[in-house]
Amino acid sequence: MNMKSRTLQEIKQKIASGEATVLTAEEVSDLVRNGEEPEFEEVDVVTTGTCGIMSGTAAIFHIKVGEPGSFKKANRILLNGVPGFPGPCPNEWLGSVDLIVYGTSHSIYHDDYGGGFLFQDIIKGNEVEVEVESISGDKLKTTVTMDDMGTAQMIGTRLAFKNYTAFVNPSLESVTSIFNAVNMEGPFKGLSFSGCGELNPLQNDPHMRIIKGGAKVLLSGSEGMVLGQGTRSSDEKPNLMISADMHQMDPLYVGGFKTAAGPEVFNSVAAAIPILNEDILKDTFITNKDIKLPVADIRGRHQVLGFTDYASVWENITERPVYYPEGCQNCELCLVRERCPTGAYKGNLNEEICFGCGMCDYSCPHGAFQMKRGKIKFSVDDRLVEVPMVCRQSDIIRARKLAEDLKKRVTDGSFDLGEC
């Protein structure tokens, strides 16, 4: 029997006429869970999304520092104390600097501030302090905002992995790592994980039939392009290299995330999958329980101890904490304020900044924060262990919101599907 198919142009015509059916990946998975797998004729486009720690994020800026002739070229540059790398263009005597900033770079002034927090500040339109030391030792200071930057381009060298790894500490000694907001205690006292399971873009297009070099995507809300496969990409664990203009980004979808090893960066990726044939549709028929999540030793990363699945970490849990101010004991050292990875708690809970990581519920000894984080069971050496989830490094709410936003853009024609 011949496989049913359609052309991209046919899908675009349906969108233009208002007749296209666009579903998010989560909506497709809900239908599958209910035993109602959609037919090929019933779905034209599926939108996907993910949000989480993406360490391979950097940004390229062009910033005016002084008047032409004020210095020959920059030797050193700081943005809010975060080191940048001038070049590759020397910009001799132009009074401006081309530079790259890593999302994982740390401020020289503030231990908890880094590239991710800087990117969010820039996208919000906040003033940024720029310090330049020229090759002759001259020092210049100025402030800039996004409006002053002719170029502010984000590039992700490895984003949106199809599948991730969860981490535990099987040893007696605590371990410092970027994979947990605080030192991870052991043995088997907590688990951290990343990935949005059935919403993940490449989980819905595992053979990269659609989401590949040249594909249009949303990077933190801004239309961008997949440049190709990212660093460390493999057939088993593919990921993407993506670039987009930061001027069009939404600060909700990108920011800093403090870890035990210092500040990291989170951002978000959404991709649309035009359903060109039945095989592409069937690839989206996944549910969280079908997606394996390896559990590895946080000290080795590649030493897999056992397996769970994304249903265990994303189902029968709560996605955001509830704050009960009457339970707060105004501790002299507030562990929640100190540990909150995004700075969402500073005497009250800022729900817009909250990432749903669970660190507040894990840390508060007085129960002022309540959140059902869940416990994960898996076998290690034929022994069943049960480990509480202590830190989610992905945000399902932001991922869902971005997938829904892309659905709206595809439906109203404001996001063109490009060419496959």
Would residue 90 count as lying in a domain? yes
Domain containing 112: what range?
57-154
Would residue 3 count as lying in a domain? no
Distance of CA 274 to the CA centre of its chain: 23
The CB-side HSE value for 244 (13 A sphere, CA atoms) comes to 28
| pLDDT of the residue at 420 | 67
Q: Which two tokens stand for residue 88?
A: 């590759």
Amino acid identity, position 236: E
CA 345/CA 341 separation, integer angstroms: 9
Question: DSSP readout, 1-29?
Answer: -PPPB--HHHHHHHHHTT---EEEHHHHH
Would residue 210 count as lying in a domain? no
Would residue 112 count as lying in a domain? yes
Would residue 146 count as lying in a domain? yes
Could you tell me which of 188, 178, 270, 181 has the C-alpha nearest to residue 221? 270
CA 215/CA 201 separation, integer angstroms: 12
CA 345/CA 363 separation, integer angstroms: 12
Residue stretches of the chain with pLDDT short of 70: 1, 420
Pairing label, strands 45-53, 262-274 = antiparallel
Would residue 134 count as lying in a domain? yes
| Structural domain total, the chain | 1
Could you tell me which of 139, 137, 136 has the C-alpha nearest to residue 78? 139
What one-character DSSP code corresponds to residue 402?
A: H
Q: Are 372 and 322 in contact (CB under 8 A)?
A: no
Q: How does 184-211 read in b/e, with b if 16+ C-beta sit within 10 Å? A: bbbebebbbbbbbbbbbbbbbbeebebb
Would residue 137 count as lying in a domain? yes
CA 15/CA 6 separation, integer angstroms: 14
Question: DSSP readout, 94-159?
Answer: SSEEEEEEETT-B-SS-TT-BHHHHHHHHHHT--EEEEEEETTS-EEEEEE-GGG-SEEEEEEEEE
Over the stretch 116-130, which tens digit does the pLDDT of each residue have? 999 999 999 999 999
Would residue 285 count as lying in a domain? no
| pLDDT of the residue at 1 | 60
Over the stretch 280-290, which tens digit does the pLDDT of each residue have? 999 999 999 99
